Amino acid sequence: MPLVTPELAAAEGRSRHGDTLARRTARALRSLVASAARDTAAVTEAARAIQQPVTTGRQIAVTSIRGGSGKSTVAALLGLTYAHYRPDPVLAVEADPALGTLPRRLGATEVRWSVPDLARIVDPSMRITDLTGYLLPFEGGGWLLPGSQGSVGAQIDVGTYRTVMAAVRRYFGTTVVDCESLPAEVARTALVTGQARVLTTPATVEGVAATRTVLDWLGKVHRSMLPTTVVALVRTSPDAALDQARAVAQLETGGAAVTVLPYDRHLAAGGAVRTELLGRATREAAALLAAAVMDRAVSRERAPAGQAPAGQAPAGQAPAGQARAGQAPAGRAPGGPTQPFAGERAR
């Protein structure tokens, strides 16, 4: 089933670069006289954090307290970043059946199978090659499982969500879940059962205040929740008047990390995210966000010997003694790249 009709697809304008021509020109001129060693070191450090090995699949929930915060955009950026850098299989799951935009953001043109469909047919005897037959590929070698087939009224209940997430964990080293906005039940389940979580918030006073309330709630659920949470502070306007330093200080209270995602013309235009058109600052922020989230997701495996990681949820738990999650896709060397997306390498 096509995501948009051919008539509507024809109405889409030309994709713009995230940076203006003037900004790209100025950066090119600066690069002639300035060393890029610092930028290269930062990207390499982020790549190493993103590529940390995992023994069981890491599941990362992305949600927000309100719509319009860039939740699906952040989930898409994380999926693309992990697929680019990590050598093991990466999955993006849309757990928001309310006509979500994750498939569109990841470049899908049609939907074949959805989360409820997979929940009905998934079987422990299935191999990853069987499973990927029900998924959609996206840039970098990642896989996508949409939440619905574009119909109004589609539902994903907690039982369906748990069934699918338990099944995919042993196949995919990293799974990014685009959840419904809070306080939806599946979103709350994903936050508690995942190994790390991302809360997206618009760079407004109202958005920061609402997200602070969610963080306070998470802190009461379990002591491990805030240290494994990252807030993505999303600038949806080029003229945002928010005092960024004060907003970050408010959100970091209690142990959560904060990454600022700058305004990007390409992302603001909607449609498929093309990494070669992202602004340089956006690419760097996406890598830093992915690194911070993976650091926190892997931290749950660093418990003392014989002791389960703090706050580890039993739902979807891999069998004891299971080998490292996922295998490197065919033709892909272990370790993954340390370079940024192709669009940045060309600059």
- Asked if residue 337 is part of any domain, the answer here is no
Going by C-alpha positions, the residue among 186, 166, 163 that lies closest to residue 317 is 166
Give mean pLDDT, residues 250-278: 94
Total residue length of the chain: 347
pLDDT band (50, 70, 90) for residue 239: confident
- Asked if residue 105 is part of any domain, the answer here is yes
Express as a percent the part of the chain with pLDDT over 70: 72
Give mean pLDDT, residues 176-194: 92
Provide the pLDDT for residue 298. Answer: 94
Provide the pLDDT for residue 201. Answer: 95
pLDDT tens figures, 51-102: 999 989 999 999 998 888 899 999 999 999 999 999 999 999 999 877 678 9
Instruction: Give the angle subtended at the CA of 160 by the CAs of 210 and 64, to the nearest 5°.
Output: 10
Going by C-alpha positions, the residue among 100, 102, 98 that lies closest to residue 80 is 102
> CB under 8 Å to 21, separation ≥6 — which residues?
none
- Asked if residue 345 is part of any domain, the answer here is no
- Asked if residue 283 is part of any domain, the answer here is yes
Mean pLDDT of the chain: 81
pLDDT band (50, 70, 90) for residue 200: very high
Inform me whether the pLDDT recorded for 48 exceeds 90: yes
Tell me if 100 sits within 8 A of 159, measured CB to CB: no
- Asked if residue 331 is part of any domain, the answer here is no
pLDDT band (50, 70, 90) for residue 110: confident
Question: What is the three-class DSSP state of 30?
Answer: helix
pLDDT band (50, 70, 90) for residue 341: low
The CATH number of residue 84's host domain is 3.40.50.300
- Asked if residue 11 is part of any domain, the answer here is no
Inform me whether the pLDDT recorded for 220 exceeds 80: yes
- Asked if residue 186 is part of any domain, the answer here is yes
Give the domain range for residue 135.
19-25+36-302
Which element (helix H / strand E) includes 4? Answer: none
Provide the pLDDT for residue 60. Answer: 98
- Asked if residue 336 is part of any domain, the answer here is no
pLDDT tens figures, 307-334: 444 444 444 444 333 344 555 444 344 4
Alpha-carbon distance of 126 to 123, in angstroms, equals 6
Alpha-carbon distance of 191 to 65, in angstroms, equals 12
Give 188 or 342, the one with higher predicted confidence. Answer: 188
Q: Out of 46-60, 137-151, 180-194, 318-332, which region has the weakest mean confidence (pLDDT)?
A: 318-332
Give mean pLDDT, residues 18-28: 53
According to DSSP, residue 258 is labeled E
Identity of residue 21: L
- Total structural domains in the chain? 1
DSSP strand pairing (136-138 vs 142-145)? antiparallel
pTM comes to 0.80
